Amino acid sequence: MRRERLINAALLLALLAVPLWAWAADEPFTITLATRVAILALAGVGLNIALGLGGLVSLGHAIFFGIGGYAMGILASHAQDHAPLLESPLLIEGTKSMPVIWLVAVIASALAALVIGVLSLRTSGVYFIMITLAFGQMFFFFAVSWPAYGGEDGLSIYVRNEFPGLNTLDPIQFFALCFALLAGALLLNARLARAPFGLALSAARQNEARVQSVGIDSFRLRLVAFTISGAITGLAGALFADLNRFVSPAMFSWQTSGEIMIFVILGGVGRLFGPVAGAALFILLEHFLGGLSEYWHVFLGLLLLGVVLFARGGLIGTLAGREVAHD
């Protein structure tokens, strides 16, 4: 437990120190890598609430990642074309303001998670995995075949969106924003896990019948967890789109869902900092193995296989020992 805290602190410091060093050494590419780690970790933190706390194996989290991305893409593209989003019955303009985009991304993905949750939480086990996968494919094909916002080609945004008081085009300032949001989400996750809600959710994962028998509605617990989880992943999607200044249906693809899950698993399921460790490892592997060989996915696959078969606690589990903090 104490060791896990030390590892967590070291991870957070490293994620902060590397880009600061890169900023001093004038290496903007390294800052961008760190920004990607922070954003993907944020998406993972979202999934970890459903997967780690709630035991909900969702293979459809790309939905929320994509909705966040498209929330940013649609709002910003209307703003850059000076074409209002809606004229009647009331005028809605596009916007380049990050806080507004974030709010829209969070609300839209939370709503989507609520609806999808109501429908798919009726099932469990493999059926839940499959129905979330199917919803993901539904969104993917819709994004591909809907021509209004780029269809298969996606949408490009020419200039990064604005945040009051900051210059978001400066890599280190954009990183700071993403890092702050990640820290906020981690704090929320830690508070949730200790709150009565998180304890009940964990209990429902371990023994549903007992939780039901003391009068707690486990369906409602899971629905709330799934909604919060979707909202956080949606926020990460908006940031990811802003980082690339590009959105495409690939954000909705099931490979994206698989990758978000890989961050969580590589790092350690249910560990608070699992997604951070996993995303950092993923980006490091992508960067270094991708530089060595075009076929780096083979090594990623072997590593993932090794973790699943032999090191079930993931990176943090291996370093910090077996017991999980809030179980």
Partner 1 sequence: MSPILLIEQILNGLQFGVMLFLMAAGLTLIFGVMGLINLAHGSLYMIGAFAAAAVAGWSGSFLLALAAALAAAAAAGVLVEILVIRRLYRRDHLDQVLATFALILIFSEGTRWLFGSFPLYLDVPEALSGPVTLPGGIRYPLYRLVIIAIGLAVAAGLFWLIARTRIGIRIRAGENDREMIAALGVDISRLYTLVFALGAALAGLAGALVGALQSVQVGMGEPVLILALVVIVIGGIGSIRGALVGALLVGLTDKLGGFLLPLLFRGFMEPAAATSAGAALASMLIYILMAGVLIFRPTGLFGAGT
Q: What does the binding site for partner 1 look like in residue numbers (CB under 8 A)?
A: 51, 57, 59, 119-120, 122-127, 129-131, 133-135, 137-138, 141-142, 144-147, 254, 258, 261-262, 265, 269, 295-298, 300-305, 308-309, 312
Reported in sequence order, the residue ranges of 138-235 that DSSP labels E, i.e. its strands, are 155-156
**261 vs 121, 187, 268, 305, 307, CA distance in Å?**
19, 20, 10, 13, 13
Structure tokens at 60: 């459809």
Nearer to partner 1, 10 or 305 (CB): 305
Output the smallest distance, CB 59 to partner 1, in A: 7
**Residues paired with 155 in a beta bridge:** 247
Give the integer Cα–Cα distance in Å for 164 and 274.
Answer: 32
Q: Positive or negative, the Cα torsion across 274, 277, 283, 286?
A: negative
Nearer to partner 1, 21 or 142 (CB): 142
**Residues paired with 66 in a beta bridge:** none
Nearer to partner 1, 19 or 230 (CB): 230
Residue 305 CB neighbours (<10 A): 10
Length of the chain: 327
Q: Positive or negative, the Cα torsion across 88, 91, 96, 101?
A: negative
> Could you give the 3-state DSSP secondary structure of residue 93?
coil
Q: Which helix (H) or strand (E) holds 247?
A: strand 246-247
Nearer to partner 1, 73 or 171 (CB): 73
Q: By the 8 A CB rule, do 66 and 288 touch?
A: no
Output the smallest distance, CB 293 to partner 1, in A: 9
Output the smallest distance, CB 135 to partner 1, in A: 7
Nearer to partner 1, 16 or 304 (CB): 304
Distance of CA 56 to the CA centre of its chain: 15
Output the smallest distance, CB 134 to partner 1, in A: 4
Nearer to partner 1, 24 or 126 (CB): 126
> Could you give the 3-state DSSP secondary structure of residue 162?
strand
Output the smallest distance, CB 30 to partner 1, in A: 26
Nearer to partner 1, 96 or 205 (CB): 205
Nearest Cα to Cα of residue 36 among 303, 290, 316, 311: 290
Output the smallest distance, CB 286 to partner 1, in A: 12
Output the smallest distance, CB 262 to partner 1, in A: 8
Nearer to partner 1, 157 or 307 (CB): 307
Burial 215-252 (b: 16+ CB within 10 A, else e): ebebeebbbbbbbbbbbbbbbbbbbbbbbbbbbbbbbb
Output the smallest distance, CB 89 to partner 1, in A: 22
Output the smallest distance, CB 55 to partner 1, in A: 9
Nearer to partner 1, 167 or 255 (CB): 255
Burial 99-121 (b: 16+ CB within 10 A, else e): eebbebbbebbbebbbebbeebb
